[in-house]
Amino acid sequence: MVAENDEFIITIGKSDKPRDENKKRRALEYVLKIMIELYEKYETRDKFIRS
């Protein structure tokens, strides 16, 4: 994963092996978790700044 200018670029290869599919799913879940945490953090900060 590369983060540049607040944009997330995710590159995932293609594979027929189920094990690799599980790895990709875990990686995506991890990235989504981080993105949600960042969103919640900045959403809270923005609300605090506006008030």
10-45 pLDDT, tens digit per residue, is 655 665 666 777 888 888 899 899 988 888 888 777
Residue 5 lies in a domain: no
User: Is residue 28 a contact partner of residue 36, using CB atoms and an 8 Å limit?
Assistant: no
Q: How far is CA 34 from the centre of its chain?
A: 5
Q: What is the pLDDT of residue 49?
A: 67
Tell me the pLDDT band of 7, cut-offs 50, 70 and 90: low
The pTM for the full model equals 0.49
**Full domain range(s) for residue 39:** 13-50
18 versus 6: which is more confidently predicted?
18
Spatial CB neighbours of 2, under 8 Å, sequence gap ≥ 6: 8, 9
Q: What is the pLDDT of residue 8?
A: 55
Dist. CA 38–CA 12, nearest whole Å: 22
Residue 6 lies in a domain: no
CA dihedral of 22, 26, 1, 16, whole degrees rounded to 10:
10
37 versus 46: which is more confidently predicted?
37
**Total tally of structural domains belonging to the chain:** 1
Residue 3 lies in a domain: no
